[in-house]
Chains A and B, each alone.
Chain A
Amino acid sequence: MAFSAQHQTLGTQLAGAVPTRPRRPPVSSSSIISASLPESGVSPHQTSSSRPLHWIRKKTLALSSASAFAAAAGGGFLFHLSSGTRPPGNPGGGGGWGWGSGGGGDGGGFWSFIFSPLSAIAEEDQTAAGGGQEWDSHGLPANIVVQLNKLSGFKKYKISEILFFDRRKWTTVSGTEDSFFEMVSLRPGGVYTKAQLLKELETLASCGMFEKVDLEAKTKPDGTLSLTVSFTESTWQSADSFRCINVGLMPQTKQMEMDPDMTDREKLEYFRSQEKDYKRRIERSRPCLLPFPVQREVLQMLREQGKLSARLLQRIRDRVQKWYHDEGYACAQVVNFGNLNTREVVCEVVEGDITKLDVQFQDKLGNICRRNTQLGVIRRELPKQLRQGHVFNIEAGKQALRNINSLALFSNIEVNPRPDEKNEGGIIVEIKLKELDQKSADVSTEWSVLYLVAKDLPTLASLQPGGTVTFEHRNIKGLNRSILGLLTSSNLLNPQDDLTFKLEYVHPYLDGVYNPRNRTFRASCFNSRKLSPVFTGGSALEEVPPIWVDRVGFKANVTESFTRQSKFTYGLVLEEITTRDETSSICTHGTRALPSGGLSMDGPPTTLSGTGVDRMAFAQGNITRDNTKFVNGAIVGERNVFQLDQGLGIGSKFPFFNRHQLTITRFFQLKEVEEGAGKPPPPVLVLHGHYGGCVGDLPSYDAFTLGGPYSVRGYNMGELGACRNILEVAAELRIPVKNTHVYAFVEHGNDLGSSKDVKGNPTEFFRRVGHGSSYGAGVKLGLVRMEYAVDHNAGSGAVFFRFGERF
């Protein structure tokens, strides 16, 4: 109501009419745009985080654009949204545009043509009157035209159809097809009393769209009435210029009632002053966002039409509003057309200026509660377009939603724009948050069956209970600091066999919550066990006894995020590396089966110290530049990663080394495509290069390995060699097909002759080539890649299934 009340120049009649129509309760308002954020829309860092826990919770995010707005405006606002989704059983509900004509039809120089979002007959009235769709027959002979005031005041009439009769064109149109249909709150099939029908007529007469309007009822044989709205459209003199002004947050002009007893002179005075007022208003108004192309379009509409009719204004309003809504200005609306009957049409728009940003915390029941999270944490995630003084845009709201969601602190996030009652045309952006529990723990268990040979039934001994224990203490001090612990064992009966643990402390906003610099400190204790790809045989060598590399250590680093994807990490790692053989006993050298059947025990040393256990401290740095983005689902852009491990000479045998890797991946978009949902992605060429090198002490477990799904496809992990310097190049061409893409690739990996510079030359010891190429083609099936890769060394191909992307 707030926006419209002052526009109603025919206030006297309406003032009475309006309060009788209760506002639609906001709950039933169907104009809420709920945007539930798909999980895929979250930044890759989040999804790849090893905390799937967060994603169990469903996040429903209601971005209710102007819902409250609509409610406040008496259901009149956003007609398009509400009309389609009206709850059944309320045929007469919903909104109608009220059009108020200013100054009377015979005024002169100044005209004001006002949309007053008058509420029509509200549902409550309707249901009361309709009372479960009981209605009375008209009790008259069929097919006679009855004047409205001839109808009985006690009967409830059922309207079976509504027709529009244009007196000027002398045509009758079925109600639902006429653009004026939206003006009428009556609906075919509805049940109304005479009073309601009269009120409707009154509303129509006062809305400004019609010079003259009448309602006629025609009796039907089945006892229902056919209603004909016969009207003469209002028209104004043609205009040849169009102006759009932003009147948000401006006090609406009060229009004085014109005294019918005014002399001509007084009348002239009156119109002059009105005109002057309006000019001042235009001057004071702020420029609006509506771009020139749309303005030109509107101008074209004006020119084509000649005379300015109510229908045309309706169309102009629709066009202007459509642009705003398409661009995401969900709170924008055309509130008024001014300066009619002059050469210029002035379109007054309220764009939805944000007057306040309100962050609320709710408990599980939806009540406002005390917050734990510090406001600064949320504030830094909000785009500045949501702050006071900016125009509300739904995209900014969505971005806020995504950003807050990526904090992983809240179970429910809502961003609602709400009209500011104290400030006309203003929007209060409300952010409602439900915090997650600070502490959470999770235990999951699983049974694994060992050695299930075909005929054997699983025995108790072959069943192994395994499990994971997780605990998390998040949002410590309300600053999003967290401690995460993780303990996994595949055999709980004997957990010391393969106990994996991780304890991590994350401390974001190292430079303060209000500092735009985004640095996060992380410290973690970890262990890991991996099969070393260094001790792998070449294609000719059958079996190589595996070597396990166990790492236990402590890591501390600082990550500075420059953008969502680009970041710089630097830190320190202290770790103990133990190499073990199949039997889990510490081993010092790689082994190889001899043709004679024996084992050659004098393979490459597994550790630097030669004892099978190394301890070392080194500094680690990683800088990632990633400007990739998705174009209709295809990744396009560039990603460069430089990674450095710098030995500090601390540890067994005083390891001093510089191990560096540079990866450059470029995704070229091969064709310009139109962006948008459902549009096909462009074909993409991926070029990839990876160089790695190490100067100084290089233990076998840190050697670069060639071959494998992330090195040279078509080979096994490490099948091509283990080396000191590595160069990999790859090219992949992705062609979109239907919803997925097919791709062809060529890859080559080379040790640059550096295999011999690894102690013990594991490449040669295990009879590997040291270089290799492959080519192939594949198709992406959801998350799985199915590819056929040809190993160029052997010349044979095979089909592989892989998860995730190569690049």
Chain B
Amino acid sequence: MASPAAREWLGIQSLPGATQTKLHELLSKLKQENVSTVTILVMGKGGVGKSSTVNSILGERVASVSAFQSEGLRPMMFSRTRAGFTLNIVDTPGLVEGGYVNEQALDIIKRFLLNKTIDVLLYVDRLDSYRVDNLDRLVIKSITDSFGKEIWKRGLLVLTHAQVSPPDGLDYADFYARRSEALLKFIRLGARIKKQEFQDSAVPVVLAENSGRCKTNDSGEKVLPDGTAWIPNLVKEITDVILNGSSPITVDQKLIDGPNPNDQGKFFIPLILAFQYFFVAKWIKRAIKNDIKNESKPLWELRDMGLANREF
């Protein structure tokens, strides 16, 4: 699927002025670091608000969002340029279908991303769901299996529906901390990253609230319950991730196919063969010889061989 030619980012103008300023600041910061193109991959389960987040960032209604069904069956890339800077956002369909990870959808995403470079992965989930289950792990695992562990160094955990009233007895900060901690733990498990390693390069957590009823601050920016404007915050985190020194993920055929297990260790086959011959086969042969030697012969045979000494 050919990506449409990058369009001028007009949507940015629909964002509140303060946000625009901040975005421009961040973009220029990236440009200073010689980054002129950023590709953001948005992934997550279905119905968590991936497309809405994309819309919010771009300030355009690029991805159709519906409350009751997932629209995107195939990944969509939205490219916007602004002052020589290109922003590509890839919106993907939900990865879950029928209680399992939809391998097919993942496969389509992978093929879609062929020959593209992923700068940032936004793993989107809801803040307002309470539980993390095995499915989350499977989703994270399949993302890891597809793009490698390294993708999480470029990963961002985006929690949507940030304007949630936490359950009784928990204050917002607490709830947020626990929810993000639970999800991060699953990311660590699903991606099979060592604890130490994970702590060194933690996946940042960003909150988002795409709803139109989101509170706004004085300058009209959408703000979180704690008062921060989340879009600039998100973009700031994205720039931080881009600039954190890890390399972006380039999706090529090899990455899509995964490592070919059939080629692993082929080099050692002669060695393995020699080991099998000299140790395993010889060992069994020796055991057989022992068996023959220790075979208990019937008495009449022993007597015949003159071994009985008339004792039996």
Chain A residues positioned under 8 Å from B292 (CB to CB): 562-563
Binary contact track B271-312/A, C-beta < 8 Å → 1, others 0:
011001000110011011101100100111101100010111
Q: Residue B100 at the A interface, CB < 8 A? A: yes
Q: Residue B262 at the A interface, CB < 8 A? A: yes
Minimum CB distance partner of A629 in chain B? B296
Q: Given that A396-B300, A625-B291 are contacting pairs, would A289 and B308 also be in contact in the complex, using a CB cutoff of 8 Å?
A: yes
A564: shortest Cβ distance to chain B, in Å? Answer: 10
Minimum CB distance partner of A656 in chain B? B266
Q: Residue B107 at the A interface, CB < 8 A? A: yes
Chain B residues positioned under 8 Å from A270 (CB to CB): none
Q: Residue A464 at the B interface, CB < 8 A? A: no
B73: shortest Cβ distance to chain A, in Å? Answer: 11
A627 to B268, CA, bound (A): 33
Q: Given that A291-B310, A625-B288, A640-B287 are contacting pairs, would A602 and B107 also be in contact in the complex, using a CB cutoff of 8 Å?
A: yes
Chain B residues positioned under 8 Å from A395 (CB to CB): 298, 300
Tell whether, in the assembled complex, residue B299 and residue A327 are in contact, meaning their CB atoms are under 8 Å apart: yes
Give the contacts of A759-783 with B (CB-CB under 8 A): 759, 764-765, 767
Q: Residue A269 at the B interface, CB < 8 A? A: no
A695 to B274, CA, bound (A): 14
Q: Residue A63 at the B interface, CB < 8 A? A: no
Q: Residue B97 at the A interface, CB < 8 A? A: yes
Identify A696's interface contact among B104, B145, B269, CB under 8 A. B269
Q: Quick check: which of A107-115, A168-176, A385-393, A407-415 contacts chain B, the rest being far away?
A: A385-393
Tell whether, in the assembled complex, residue A759 and residue B261 are in contact, meaning their CB atoms are under 8 Å apart: yes
Q: Given that A396-B300, A642-B276, A695-B269 are contacting pairs, would A627 and B281 also be in contact in the complex, using a CB cutoff of 8 Å?
A: no
Identify A657's interface contact among B107, B269, B310, CB under 8 A. B269
Q: Given that A563-B288, A625-B288, A698-B262 are contacting pairs, would A656 and B104 also be in contact in the complex, using a CB cutoff of 8 Å?
A: no
Q: Residue B4 at the A interface, CB < 8 A? A: no
**B interface, over-half SS:** helix
Identify A385's interface contact among B145, B273, B300, CB under 8 A. B300
Minimum CB distance partner of A594 in chain B? B104
Q: Given that A291-B311, A698-B262 are contacting pairs, would A646 and B273 also be in contact in the complex, using a CB cutoff of 8 Å?
A: yes
Tell whether, in the assembled complex, residue A695 and residue B310 are in contact, meaning their CB atoms are under 8 Å apart: no
B146: shortest Cβ distance to chain A, in Å? Answer: 12
A662 to B272, CA, bound (A): 14
**Size band of the B side of the interface?**
35 or more
Chain B residues positioned under 8 Å from A563 (CB to CB): 288, 291-292, 295
A551: shortest Cβ distance to chain B, in Å? Answer: 20
Identify A658's interface contact among B264, B269, B284, B301, CB under 8 A. B269
A289 to B301, CA, bound (A): 12
Q: Residue A79 at the B interface, CB < 8 A? A: no
Chain B residues positioned under 8 Å from A595 (CB to CB): 97-98
Minimum CB distance partner of A601 in chain B? B104
A661: shortest Cβ distance to chain B, in Å? Answer: 11
A292 to B311, CA, bound (A): 6
A623 to B283, CA, bound (A): 10
Q: Given that A396-B300, A658-B273, A698-B261 are contacting pairs, would A292 and B145 also be in contact in the complex, using a CB cutoff of 8 Å?
A: no
Identify A291's interface contact among B273, B298, B308, CB under 8 A. B308
Minimum CB distance partner of B100 in chain A? A767
Identify B276's interface contact among A329, A627, A644, A724, CB under 8 A. A644
Chain B residues positioned under 8 Å from A391 (CB to CB): 303-304
Identify A568's interface contact among B97, B103, B285, B308, CB under 8 A. B285
Minimum CB distance partner of B287 in chain A? A625
Tell whether, in the assembled complex, residue A695 and residue B268 are in contact, meaning their CB atoms are under 8 Å apart: yes
Minimum CB distance partner of A641 in chain B? B284
Most buried by A among B100, B261, B298: B261
B213: shortest Cβ distance to chain A, in Å? Answer: 34
Binary contact track A698-730/B, C-beta < 8 Å → 1, others 0:
100000000000000000000000001000000
B311: shortest Cβ distance to chain A, in Å? Answer: 6
A344 to B292, CA, bound (A): 43
Identify B104's interface contact among A383, A602, A627, CB under 8 A. A602
Minimum CB distance partner of B260 in chain A? A759
Q: Residue B265 at the A interface, CB < 8 A? A: yes
A765 to B261, CA, bound (A): 16
Tell whether, in the assembled complex, residue B291 and residue A627 are in contact, meaning their CB atoms are under 8 Å apart: yes
Q: Residue A36 at the B interface, CB < 8 A? A: no
Q: Residue A491 at the B interface, CB < 8 A? A: no
A276 to B280, CA, bound (A): 66
Chain A residues positioned under 8 Å from B97 (CB to CB): 595
Chain A residues positioned under 8 Å from B287 (CB to CB): 625, 640
Tell whether, in the assembled complex, residue B310 and residue A289 are in contact, meaning their CB atoms are under 8 Å apart: yes
Identify B280's interface contact among A627, A642, A695, A764, CB under 8 A. A642
Give the contacts of B141-193 with A (CB-CB under 8 A): 145
Minimum CB distance partner of A394 in chain B? B300
Binary contact track B120-156/A, C-beta < 8 Å → 1, others 0:
0000000000000000000000000100000000000
A640 to B290, CA, bound (A): 14
Q: Residue A756 at the B interface, CB < 8 A? A: yes
Chain B residues positioned under 8 Å from A179 (CB to CB): none
Chain A residues positioned under 8 Å from B145 (CB to CB): 756
Chain B residues positioned under 8 Å from A698 (CB to CB): 261-262
Chain B residues positioned under 8 Å from A512 (CB to CB): none
A292 to B308, CA, bound (A): 11
Tell whether, in the assembled complex, residue A385 and residue B288 are in contact, meaning their CB atoms are under 8 Å apart: no
B25: shortest Cβ distance to chain A, in Å? Answer: 44
Tell whether, in the assembled complex, residue A765 and residue B303 are in contact, meaning their CB atoms are under 8 Å apart: no
A349: shortest Cβ distance to chain B, in Å? Answer: 13
Minimum CB distance partner of B306 in chain A? A287
Identify A757's interface contact among B261, B299, B308, CB under 8 A. B261
Chain B residues positioned under 8 Å from A642 (CB to CB): 276, 280-281, 284
Besides A289-B303, A395-B298, A656-B269, 4 new A-B residue pairs in contact (Cβ under 8 A), listed by A number: A327-B299, A396-B301, A602-B107, A627-B291
Please, could you name 19 A-B residue pairs with CB atoms under 8 Å apart, sorted by A? A291-B308, A327-B300, A393-B300, A563-B295, A566-B288, A602-B104, A608-B262, A624-B284, A625-B287, A627-B291, A642-B280, A642-B284, A646-B273, A656-B266, A656-B269, A658-B269, A695-B264, A724-B261, A756-B145
The 9 A-B residue pairs whose C-beta atoms are closest, nearest first, are A757-B261, A595-B98, A627-B291, A695-B265, A393-B300, A566-B288, A697-B262, A658-B269, A696-B266
